[in-house]
Amino acid sequence: MIRNVAAGVQSFTSNAFLVDGDRTVLVDAGSGFDVVDRIDGVDLDAVVLTHTHADHVGNLDDVTSAFDVQAWGFDADHPGVDEVIPDEGTVVMGDHEYTALHTPGHKDDHLCFYSPTARVLFAGDLVFQNGSFGRTDLEEGDRGALVDSIDRVLDAVDDDLDQMHTGHGPSVTTNPIHDVELASKAARMR
Ligand SMILES: [Zn+2]
C-alpha cells in the first residue's frame, strides 16, 4: 500500500509517500506540514530520499527524531543523510526490493527507485505526469544530464510498469511508461 501523506497540504511541499509492509518507509519527508501527525501510529522503519531539495527534506528532522529512524539517500555529505544508497544499491520498501538509479540533471544527488516485482517507480523530480520533467534551471541543474537520466530510467523499467509516484502532482497509474517517454521527448526540445 502506497499513500501520499502530503495530499491536500497547501504549503510548498513535495509529495511524501508512505510505503507500508515488511519494512515501512517514507519516501521523502515533505516540508511545512505536520508529517508526524499524519503518520501517527505507523511503525516507521526508515525515511528514503529521492533528493535533498528543501521541499523534500524540510520535515526530515521532525520525522527522524519522532520515530527514531534513519534517513537514506545518495549524498553522504548532506547533514540529513544517515545512510548512503549508492547507484544500483537496493532498498526494501513495503514488501518489495527497489533498485536505486542515480539520475542527476535536476539535482546531483537524485535517485529514482524501481521495483520490477512491485511494478512501481518512484521518480522523484525527474519526470512527472503528462511528460513534465524536473527543473534544470536551479543549482546543479543540467538538461543534458536530465535527458540521459530519463533515458536510463526508460531502459531500466519493464514494459509492465504499473505505477509511477512522482515528487509533485498526481501519481500515474495508467501506462506510466508513456508519460516517461513524453518527458524524454519534451526535455530534448527546450
Ligand atoms: Zn527537487
Mean pLDDT of the chain: 97
Give the model's pLDDT for residue 11.
85
Task: Give the model confidence (pLDDT) of 127-145 as tens digits.
Answer: 999 999 999 999 999 999 9
pLDDT band at 34 (very low <50, low <70, confident <90, very high): very high
Could you give the number of structural domains in the chain? 1
Give the integer Cα–Cα distance in Å for 99 and 152: 13
Distance 119 CA to ligand 1 centre (A): 24
C-alpha cell belonging to residue 56: 523534500
Element containing residue 182 per DSSP (H, E): helix 176-189
Pinpoint the alpha helices (H) of 10-142: 35-38, 54-57, 60-67
107 in Cβ contact with 138 (< 8 Å): yes
Whether the predicted pLDDT of 189 surpasses 70:
yes
Domain enclosing residue 98, as ranges: 2-188
Distance 169 CA to ligand 1 centre (A): 13
Distance 150 CA to ligand 1 centre (A): 15
Task: Give the model confidence (pLDDT) of 73-124 as tens digits.
Answer: 999 999 999 999 999 999 999 999 999 999 999 999 999 999 999 999 999 9
In the chain, which ranges are E strands?
2-4, 17-19, 25-27, 46-48, 70-73, 83-84, 90-93, 96-102, 111-115, 120-124, 163-166
C-alpha cell belonging to residue 126: 525527474
Task: Give the model confidence (pLDDT) of 47-64 as tens digits.
Answer: 999 999 999 999 999 999
Predicted TM-score (pTM) of this structure: 0.97
Crossing angle, helix 143-156 and helix 176-189, to 10 degrees?
A: 160
Distance 27 CA to ligand 1 centre (A): 13
Q: What percent of the chain has pLDDT over 90?
A: 98
Distance 74 CA to ligand 1 centre (A): 14
Distance 68 CA to ligand 1 centre (A): 25
- Residue pointed to by grid coordinates 544517515: 82
Distance 153 CA to ligand 1 centre (A): 17
- Residue pointed to by grid coordinates 529514482: 112
Distance 144 CA to ligand 1 centre (A): 17
Give the model's pLDDT for residue 144.
97
Give the model's pLDDT for residue 161.
98
- Residue pointed to by grid coordinates 523534500: 56
CATH number at residue 57: 3.60.15.10
Distance 103 CA to ligand 1 centre (A): 12
Whether the predicted pLDDT of 190 surpasses 70:
no
Give the model's pLDDT for residue 9.
94
pLDDT band at 187 (very low <50, low <70, confident <90, very high): very high
Distance 141 CA to ligand 1 centre (A): 10
Beta strands across the sheet bearing 17-19? 2-4, 17-19, 25-27, 46-48, 70-73, 83-84
